[in-house]
Structure 1
Amino acid sequence: MKKIYSLIAVTFLLFSCGGNDKFVLRGSVGKVNKVMVVTDINSWDGDIGKEIRNSFGELVVGLPQPEPTLSVSQIAPNGFGKMMKVSRNIMIIGVSDEDKFFIKNNVYAQPQTVVYVYGKDKESVIKVFQKHQKEIIDTFLDADIKMLQTQFKKTKLDDTQYKTLQKLGISLTIHKKFNTVDDTGDFLWLRQHLKSGIAKTGSNNILVYSVPLENETTVSDSIVAVRNRIGKKYIPGSDPETMHMITEEAYTPSTFDAIIDGKKAFETRGKWEVKNDFMAGPFLNYTVIDKKNNRLVVFEGFTYAPSVNKRAFLFELEAIAKSMKIQ
């Protein structure tokens, strides 16, 4: 009889897990743009750790304060226990019997990205890492973008309420912390007031608009001129007669190729300022070539957060921009 009861209990447990053999993974934890590196202390203090810190520590373009692309922390393999395994971004790196590189998702928790880098000796480990470093960085950044977009979907603004997005045929996954500043039908400005730390007087901002597509070969060269024109028309300072947003004249923005909603685009990072005033900060601009509608669709995010790091704020704006869908 006891055997029968035991069999019933086991059967119940199996079916209570959803009718399959998969375990329910714990939820992952960890700050955005942070990676836990699992390796021994000698490797971390030596050339392997130096290579990782130099690669992940490359500065984010366009920020007023120097901030690394990815922040890192180290833990030894014998300390990589149950609590540490719920970290969202993990890289396991060290010496093994052969050179290997691979990526797995949701190994110990969900969502989670685990990158494995192995070499037959320390020199080989560095070579394998160097060979795949761009892919590794992009993998962690893309995973964080998707994680944020999933979070934003849970508290998503109803974008059908904005006449500009409706007129332009655009949808975005924007979380509910943003409020409307302006929505003309041709130009949308949303603002999120920042409440944490000394950035509580600051804000994250979203702009959306379109301009005609005149010459595809000169799009990247015209981005600064377009944003300056829009700033003068729609984004005044405390004195609208003499003050408005411009691209900071002392800092040349950087422009890169990008893809948004499967369409060719340009990503521009730089600094904005208010002409004849002291307000300034970083901006992130995506100019999308929409050939179907013979136009450029522009998403811009900019941050005003004096005296605090701004990487995380701008990264949230990037996640929103990359959720864009164009009809």
Structure 2
Amino acid sequence: MKRIFVSLVAILLLTSCGNDQLILPNSVGAFGKVMVVTSNSNWEGDIGNEIRQSFGKLQVGLPQPEKTLSVSQVAANGFSSMMRNSRNIFIVEVSDKETMSVVNDKYSRPQTVVYITAKDKEGLLAMIKKHSNEIIDTFRESDINYLQRLFAKRKLDDSKYKTLQNLDISLTIPKDFRTVDDTGDFLWLRHHLKSGIAKGTGSNNILVYSLPLEDESTIADGIIAMRDAIGEKYIPGAKEGMYMITEEAYTPFTIETKVKDNKAFETRGKWEVKNDFMAGPFLNYAIVDKKNNRLLVIEGFTYAPSIDKRNFVMELEAIAKSVQIN
């Protein structure tokens, strides 16, 4: 009898010491979407307007207007067990403290829940304005991590690519991608968008190459010339004299960032084929790899006429940010 009691206690202790995650349901919901839990009066007033305006800012570098994040709302009394399994949840509620906090895997996994609390509506509005960029970044990072986990489950064997081997790097690339070119210095992979997370026509493309690292202060200003030179050399159009360039009518947007703790420059803009009508968005990461004295470049570009492209570009972002420099 004593032995049975001890066993039961041990099982209870194990269950209470972190095994809850083993029984959490899988989260649901497409990436790029956030469920907002707040009262209807909040949602229909200034608080809802601020959330829609902040989350609904247009994503930079896309040909058509698309929101950074899409939002939907449910009141707290309608926040059912099924809705609690949503992947991205933003809870806005009155409390006796002003706080902004993030909880992972609370009701399901993977899941990100962001809380904003304050003593009244005015306080909630102020907190949302203060933390909006941080909140948006949190949900976008959640989406990137989610995509990388999905891609890892159906990852290409990247050891077969000469260019990746010569550069001594690895990437988490899903098996949908096929080789267009792999010279040893330049890699071009393409996924025809007929199935997968975001369905449509056209293609998603990944480019990988490196250049000698010279003056770091001139990198940002030289990214367009760099990618145009690569386009002319490696990415031809349908006829002679046609090749990929940066669209001249749209000024790309470049920011300094980090990729796997390395200084990097993220550039979003539009590409086009010179003397042709093909065009679309691109996302370029120029990574400062001081250890190997080089500028490592990973770029994604999308061709998907007549349909939204935000999610395609986010998939490319997840692949680029998965890079491991050996």
Percent identical residues: 62
Given the alignment of the two structures, is residue 62 of structure 1 paired with residue 66 of structure 2, yes or no?
no
Contact 1:27 1:109 in 2 (8 A): yes
Q: In 2, are the aligned partners of 1:14 and 1:21 still within 8 Å (CA)?
A: no
Partner of 1:175: 174
Tell me the residue number matched to 2:227.
227
Report deviation, 1:17: 7.6
* Correspondence for 1:282: 281
Letter matched to residue 19 of structure 2: K
Question: Could you tell me how far apart the structure 1 residues matched to 2:75 and 2:195 are?
Answer: 33
- Counterpart amino acid of residue 155 in structure 1: R
Q: Which residue of 2 aligns with 1:218?
A: 218
Whether contact under 8 Å (1:14, 1:20) holds in the other structure is: no
- Separation in structure 1 between the aligned mates of residue 98 and residue 287 of structure 2, nearest angstrom: 40
- The SS at the match of 1:68 is coil
- CA deviations 1:193-214 (Å, max 9, x no partner) are 0015996430000000011112
Question: Does structure 2 conserve the Cα–Cα contact (< 8 Å) formed by 1:199 and 1:308?
Answer: no
| 1:113 paired to 2:120 | no
Structure 1: any 5+ residue segments left out of the alignment?
none
Matches within 5 A, 1:238-257: 238-239=238-239, 241-257=240-256
Q: Distance in 1 between matches of 2:199 and 2:28?
A: 24
With the length of structure 1 as denominator, give the TM-score of the two structures. Answer: 0.93
Report what 1:76 is aligned to.
75
Q: Give the 3-state SS of the residue equivalent to 2:245 in structure 1.
A: strand
1:39 alignment partner in structure 2: 38
Q: Assess, with a 3 A threshold, how the Cα gap between structure 1 residues 244 and 117 changes in structure 2: closer, same or farther.
A: same
2:99 & 2:285 partners in 1: Cα distance? 36
Q: Letter of the 1:131 partner, please give it.
A: K
Does the CA-based 8 Å contact 1:284-1:314 persist in structure 2? yes
Query: Is contact 2:200–2:307 with CA below 8 Å preserved after alignment?
Result: no
1:96 positional shift: 2.0
> Alignment partner of 1:201: what SS?
coil
Distance 1:276 1:94, change over 3 A: same
Cα distance in 2, alignment partners of residues 249 and 79 from structure 1 = 49
3-state DSSP class of the match of 1:27?
A: coil
Letter in 2 for 1:41: N
1:192 matched residue in structure 2: 191
Task: Check conservation: 1:199, 1:306, Cα contact below 8 A.
Answer: no
Match of 2:262 in 1: 263
Q: Distance in 1 between matches of 2:15 and 2:182?
A: 46
Asked if 2 retains the 8 angstrom alpha-carbon contact of 1:173 and 1:324, the reply is yes
Distance in 1, Cα, partners of 2:38 & 2:18: 32
Structure 1 Cα separation of the partners of residues 271 and 202 of structure 2: 14
Residue 16 of structure 1 and its aligned partner are, at CA, apart by 12
User: Residue 22 of structure 1 corresponds to which residue in structure 2?
Assistant: 19
Size of the alignment, in residue pairs? 320
Please give the alpha-carbon distance, in whole angstroms, between the structure 1 residues aligned to 2:17 and 2:67: 42
Q: Following TM superposition, by how much is the alpha carbon of 1:95 offset from its aligned partner in structure 2, in angstroms?
A: 1.9
Q: How far does residue 18 in structure 1 lie from its aligned partner after superposition?
A: 6.7
State the alpha-carbon separation in 2 of the partners of residues 201 and 115 from structure 1: 35
Q: Give CA-to-partner distance per residue, 1:167-217, whole Å, 9 cap, x none.
A: 011110111110000000000000000015996430000000011112111
Could you tell me how far 1:147 is from its partner in structure 2?
1.0
SS in 2 for 1:277: coil
In structure 1, C-alpha distance between the alignment counterparts of 2:191 and 2:241, rounded to whole Å: 26
- Structure 1 segments of 4 or more deviating over 6 A? 15-19
